[in-house]
Structure 1
Amino acid sequence: MPLPTPNLDDRTFQDIVDEAKRLIPQYCPEWTNHNVSDPGVALIELFAWMSEMVLYRVNQVPERLYTHFLNLVGIEPFAPTVARTDLTFWLSAILDAPVVVPAGTEVTTPASVGAGDDAIVFSTVRDLVIAPPRLAAAQTTSGGGSRVVDVWDDLRFAPDGVACFASADLTPGDAFCLGFRDSLAGQALRIDVEARAEGIGVDPTDPPLVWEVWNGEGWLGCRVYEDTTGGLNRAGSVVLLVPVEHEPLSIGNVVAYWLRARLLAPAPGRPQYQASPRVRGLEVSALGGTVGAEHAERLPGEQIGRSDGTPGQTFSVGRAPVLPRTEEEYVEVVDGDGTVVWTEVDDFSASGPGDRHIVWDDATGVVHFGPRVRYPDGSTRQHGAIPRDGAVVRVSGYRSGGGAHGNVGSSTLTRLRSSVAFVNNVVNLAPATGGVDAETVAEAKVRGPLTLRTGQRAVTAGDYERLTREASHEVARARCLDAGRGNGAVRLLLVPQVVGAPTAHTIDDFAISPTLMQTVTEYLDERRVIGTAVEVSTPYYQGVSVVALVHAAPGRPDALVRQQVTEALSRFIHPLTGGVDGTGWAFAQDLNAAAVTQLLEAIDGVDRVEEALLFEYDLRTGARLGSAKEVIRLEPQSLFLSGRHQVVVR
């Protein structure tokens, strides 16, 4: 049990008043009227009330002292994390030479979007090179890639062009492949197609094909920004946004960077080709490019102070919080011997008197130099070198940003802070995610004792789950499987933070980004027991579709009741907002029709629920699977996610 908290002064208002009245005969014997109506007694009560307020504050531990206590034991509040998104830069014209958008290019929102009417700044994390694509090969594949036909010459010279899908029966998986000499990673491509309407039978607004590129491990889908060809069926153009990963692959003994159009399997309500479309020619050009960006403002180098030669010096940069440093961001000391870069470390515990080490606090932006520590035998040791007296302390540059206000919506980052040659405009086609505010002192007070009790070792399942949540603010939930079975393997399931309304979430929103995967893996690798293998993955998301027949209360519009029911179902069957307590659907907890009925009956505007049916749902194709069920079982490694619900209101 925790130690009892002492009450430094337990006197109450009445105790102070009585004590003051008992002192009146000793110090002022002529004062004989001690009634409440006496002005002197009124003053005593006033001062007693003020004293009671002071005593209340004395018995509280100020937040500043509590923060110092946490710092002494090594518990520091988490710094804010940055939101990230992809920015698409569009060229002003099609060019024959590469265009470079340099790393650190800053893009902002309109002022009205930012917190406090201030624009929110994002900066690109690497150089973006938009180069003219060079098409070098064309092939068709069928039979799962076992049959490859080179159609490069036919595409350029044959009068009838090329049949995109080689199988006579148009087998799903047939593909039309275009090979390029250079990587198309992050490019916005326009493919001008010369074709005629031969692939009849399809809906030109929703053709059964998908564009993909090879990323070294598998085929990634490209985003179709615009398609005026009706599925390669008429002259027009296809504008594609290529993912930021594109690696070479050998197809038919030709090594190239491949882009393919793959035929999809028939889906309910989606008509299929009756004949293969034919392409008589095409031309590929670059319209722009996509690059990752983070909610950060790049700040130039600055002088943060001058050393006085004493141990434990601290200097602050001009802006805080400071983001984790890159190779180009460091602290340097300038003295008579020249400029020397000092190494950043987590703490000074392993630093010797000659080690040029510094600690740079992310949350406050304070740069610490090594302290001098006295040991029990009377000796002292300097942990980390001390800059010479008069030496100038500088930072080469840093980035400042982070926080939940960086989670801006799509199409809000539209303003370039400085012009870039041949770039016409910029936009974020997807919302920014991952921004989390700094940890408050109150939150650190709750986490601190738990950390001290359990340490920083991952042994039990609870340790793994706690450390996984500590690894990054982007982790919403963590589930540990197989820990403690003695086989040396631990499986961790992560559910990332997802912004926006639950009704708009899809399975792709719960994908784990490579950055988050690396952060969690490296954090656990330092804390796992030697010999334990840790596998980090995502849960299997079981789609659920509810078909409900409800009766609206008198005077309630059917459309409003239908919307409320749909939103309630989407929130209830959800990894983050689901379940009875609204904190996320529990692992291995089944879903039954009775719970759904009880949920719907509690909605304002629903008079009664006549029927509620549960269906398993394919989150990729959008189709219900099998027949209706009273109970849908959930495996230990799975979570429910809402599919498309059908609500009938009478």
Structure 2
Amino acid sequence: MLPIPNLDDRMFEQMVMEARKSIPKLFPEWTDENAHDPGITLLELMSWVTEMQQYYLNRVTERSERKFLKLLGIRPQDAVSAACEVTFTGNEGQLVLPKGTPLLAMDLRFETQSTVQLVPATLEKVLVRTETAAANYTSNNQAKIAFYAFGAEARKGAHLYLGFDRALPVDTEISIYFNLFDRYPVKVNPLLDKTDPLVSSAKVAWSFAGAGKEEQTESWLPIETHSDTTVHLSQSGELKFSITSDMKPMSLYPADDRSRYWICCTLEEDGYELAPKIEKITLNTVRAVEQETLSEVRAFNSTGEPNQRYELISHLAYTGLHTVQVLDEQGRWRDWHVVASLKACGPDDLCCELQQDSVRRVTRLRFGDGEHGSIPPQGAKRVRFIAYTADFDYGRWVGNSKGLPGQTFEISRGRAFKPSSMLLQVGYRPRGEDSFVWDDWTAVDDFDNSKSTDRHYVYDAAAGTIRFGNNEAGLVPRKSGEPNIRFLALQAGGGVRGNVKDGLVTGFGFAAAPGMSVTNPFAARGGREAETLAQAKLRVQRELAAPTRAVTAEDYEAIAKAAPGLRVARVKAIPLYKPGMRDFPRVTAPAQMTVVVVPYSESDKPRAGKGFLQTIKQHLDRHRLLTTELHVIPAAYIKITVHAVVVMEPKYKNEQRRIVLELKRLLAPMDHGQGEEGWRFGRTVYKGDIYGVISRIKGVVYVQDIWLDAEGTGFHKDGAGDIHIPPYALVYSGDHEVETISLTDL
């Protein structure tokens, strides 16, 4: 452990002496340095204040630093679990794997994040057809070598075909995962809120090869799409769909060796900023997270009617032990008995019936009708279904309260739990009753804001303990002679160990069907350890520096460049400008802000589509002032062509190609010719810029002549031959013409 530095390392006399020594250098006219001089008195006062500040600063402890962070609304982040996509193969028939199905990567446990329906089909062929070519990318897909889904240009009418060895089942939810190439110089901004809508600039439609109306000819029929997290193949994600009728085999060139069952993705509207490039397409794929659920809770609304029924699909609900709770009229939770049949229950018996479907892996819960079993009271989330592992049946009990202030209980026993997954209850036996009633308690970072009646507790992840209040800051749990503190929900996991390499998630934490296998085609990612105090202090510096309100042009540019889910390469905010204005900046428009955006693209002229512009505008609307009218537009491009006559040294006479490359590097919207981003928005193209670039090339003696041509809208050429472009425009290179003359030929 590094030693803590001593900040209080200068005494009062030393500070006064250092200040007096600096007087002749800073203020030579100050000659009276005796004690009676008022300036010396001020120096001594400032030295005393500095000494006091150093003393108190030296006494700042880690606890104090955490309090300071809390005042800023910052707390160290908890550990985060790694996630990856896992693919199942080898299943002979249809199989439902419920949410929370356990998988193994050596000694690490992963759990699926959603329910997946496995189908006994194999993706055999992947074809891409454009207007000019047709290609078979099956080997690319198997080797995870990226290929363009609709060709490099991604033009309207291109097709992506997926061929299967057998027909996909009808009226069954099928899952296909698309992993897109993502290693570009400009990273995708993370989604801060998963509800943020990402709008695609292109549109695709899915269909399948089925029987025609006469059931004799092939016909492409629309697929019923349930969800599409790829957003029209704009990002990696999952497509969930179902086939509405029987598929019909057919052969497609260039995979016409035999008939297969095909689905097709057609690009109906082009406009991708970056043509989608696929690394892997997998069937029967679901997302898995490195964690172990020891106990989970599912809440339901109660209608107050007889014979209420509920169902849920979860691995732990199907395989684990169960407890059912209902919130009574007094606002207390009571455990209800789970029975095999409600017929044996009386009208006042707190019991319910549990049934399980072994095919769909569904767990069903049924309550009584007031004659056979009591009816839960009406209300939102008044019914709870708790499922936990058999090994956790004993471990879920924390202990019994002694009724003393500041009680501490050990819970970790060497394991790291997720604080966000915790749901703790404390029970007591009301007077005159034989059974416990339970109250929910809430986890807090500390008891600073806790009142004497608040049911709060503090979880210390480092020590592996939970601590209760003292009846002044936080309520003390009621005394009990038997265990009355328990967990209803608890998960373990998180950390960098979960970032396993591809192909390591291969084990099952359940009895898998014979011949079935699982693997993760790509490495798990996202796992992080709990944030340290030093890391939290660095994060707060970054967050405080980041703008949260769009007031100045710099604010608009910073916020737009961080638009979630997009690759934003460049942004230019133009205050007091409205699209279509003339004579700007001589004429301005009050309360107007125009933001010009450039997406990352492999094109010479990156152009933002309508979805890209809409996403950024929605993001900026949350931060702009109410009185500001906002416009988000794509950048305009002016094509610049250079014609030059250059005198070279004899041995460099044939260096035209190098000169052209330097000109293209200079006149590029996303290159390093000007600064780190490219040509500045609205910057005039001066002939002097061209002279300077060419003159710096090795072997150039001098530039004999230069003239510039431009193509586009909004520019004008002055008498000196310079090109003036509008403030929302960038330049790109045309076909430059460079004539080189040897010095000896003059």
TM over 0.5: no
Structure number with greater Rg is 2
**TM-score of the pair, normalised by structure 2:** 0.38
**TM-score of the pair, normalised by structure 1:** 0.42
